[in-house]
Amino acid sequence: MNCKMNIKGGIRLKGTVTTQGAKNAALPILASALLLKDKTLKLRRVPNLRDIKTMADLLATLGVNVSYSGHEMILEVPSELCWETPANLVRKMRASSLVLGPLVARCGKAVMPLPGGCSIGSRPIDLHLKGLSRMGATIELDHGAVHASAKGLKGCRIYLDFPSVGATENLLMAAVFAKGETLLENVAREPEISNLISTLNLMGARIEERPTGEILVQGVDELDSASATIIPDRIEACTYLLAGVITGGEVKVTDLNINHVDALIAKLEEAGVPLSITGNSVTVHPLNKIKAVSLKTLPFPGFPTDLQPQIMATLSLADGTSIIQESVFESRFRHISELNKMGASIEVQGHTAIIKGVRELVGADVVATDLRAGASLILAGLAACDETNIFNLGHVWRGYENIDGKLRELGGEVSILPVDIIESKVNGVTPEGGD
């Protein structure tokens, strides 16, 4: 049944929400379980999300016994694994490519359909494949699938042309059993990678993360059972802080890691937003009009691209003109046309968006084109006068656990309503975006 999110906007949100486990930490950590043999990985604070279910389904098709209850997940990995990944799951979620490194390391081979692009970019995996080749894997592309094989990977030095999160994760997992030392350079430094490294080290890997953007991996023969906890989801937490800002409300987000949200905190302070910061919580206080600010998205610790759509919605009501440069993905502006339908005044020039602050946003029927675009439209709907309907909610369920429930806890008038076939057609609801 397709659904839409109906929001009656104009209400100043007020209250406290807790942060879910980080989707982008849990996904690589789930994939890392493939490195185990007749062992078990227990995880706490695993968020209840569509992408997590997709990864769990993928691991199950490879032979892993996955059980999940109350945000705790147990992964029992047998001695023998399947190394061919099903096309339907890989194409459903690009992060499926994170099983490639562990499978080649554990089984000596892997067959995986190329994940393909999505609405924010072509999303190639050339850096992943180049790194595996450097480690001695044979990589062949055949009928749109990667065929990788290796008679044992060997440690080496790999310089990443771009600090790719996925390539860093895939290659450090592949290096766990490589013979000798692997030095990864110019790596991504997102906190989710540190969570993966600490989990692998709990399993008996020998990985050292250096502040200079290098990761050193000493190959070991096997890993052991372990228990680990997923870090808080910094992007989800910041999305709720921005929900407080855009509605001029007072929102406290708890159970987050302050060091992981510095970039947003600095921007909000620059925009004149009154903030209170304690050990593991941040509160935004009421403010009628934020100041226009400009930013460029960058790899961590720069301003995260995964918050770009959300802060753009917030700045559409700022006092003045803001400039946002998107430097990480080539086409992460598809939310702009939908925001402009709601009365925003945003112009695109290449990879730069010029956001002229307007007095108010107005409700409309709008369509989510990807996960964070959906979050951006939800924020705009919360601030808009009268009603907004957001279609293609499937994108939102990929990354935000119980977002409608959390917004209602903050006083938002948010409901999930069924969508009939006519509305689906009129609003271009796509299968992957639908419910």
Q: Helices 23-32 & 234-246, crossing angle to 10 degrees? A: 170
Question: Shortest distance, CB of residue 369 to ligand EPZ, whole angstroms?
Answer: 12
Question: Shortest distance, CB of residue 298 to ligand EPZ, whole angstroms?
Answer: 9
* 216: β partners: 183, 208
Nearer to ligand EPZ, 105 or 318 (CB): 105
Nearer to ligand EPZ, 123 or 285 (CB): 123
DSSP-assigned states of every residue in 49-69: -HHHHHHHHHHHHHT-EEEEE
DSSP-assigned states of every residue in 330-351: S---THHHHHHHTT-EEEEETT
Helix (H) and strand (E) counts in the chain: 15, 23
Question: Shortest distance, CB of residue 49 to ligand EPZ, whole angstroms?
Answer: 10
Nearer to ligand EPZ, 248 or 399 (CB): 399
| Other beta carbons within 10 Å of 287 | 18
* Helix, strand or coil, per DSSP, at residue 98: helix
Question: Shortest distance, CB of residue 190 to ligand EPZ, whole angstroms?
Answer: 6
Question: Shortest distance, CB of residue 398 to ligand EPZ, whole angstroms?
Answer: 8
Q: From the candidates 3, 118, 238, 385, give the one annotated as an active-site residue.
A: 118
Question: Shortest distance, CB of residue 153 to ligand EPZ, whole angstroms?
Answer: 18
Pairing of strands 226-229, 250-254: unpaired
Q: Smallest Cα–Cα separation from 78: which of 17, 144, 124, 34? A: 34
Nearer to ligand EPZ, 175 or 328 (CB): 328
| Other beta carbons within 10 Å of 417 | 10
Residue 33 to residue 49: CA distance in whole angstroms: 19
Burial class (CB in 10 A: 0-12, 13-18, 19+), 296: middle
The residue number with the shortest CB distance to ligand EPZ is 166
Nearer to ligand EPZ, 78 or 124 (CB): 124
Residue 307 to residue 266: CA distance in whole angstroms: 14
Nearer to ligand EPZ, 239 or 247 (CB): 239
The pair of structure tokens assigned to 205 is 């890997």
- Catalytic residue status for 118: yes
Contacts with ligand EPZ, residue ranges (CB under 6 A): 23-24, 27, 94-95, 121, 123-128, 162, 164-167, 188, 305-306, 328-329, 371-372, 399
How many Å is the Cα radius of gyration of the chain? 22
The residues assigned a catalytic role are 118
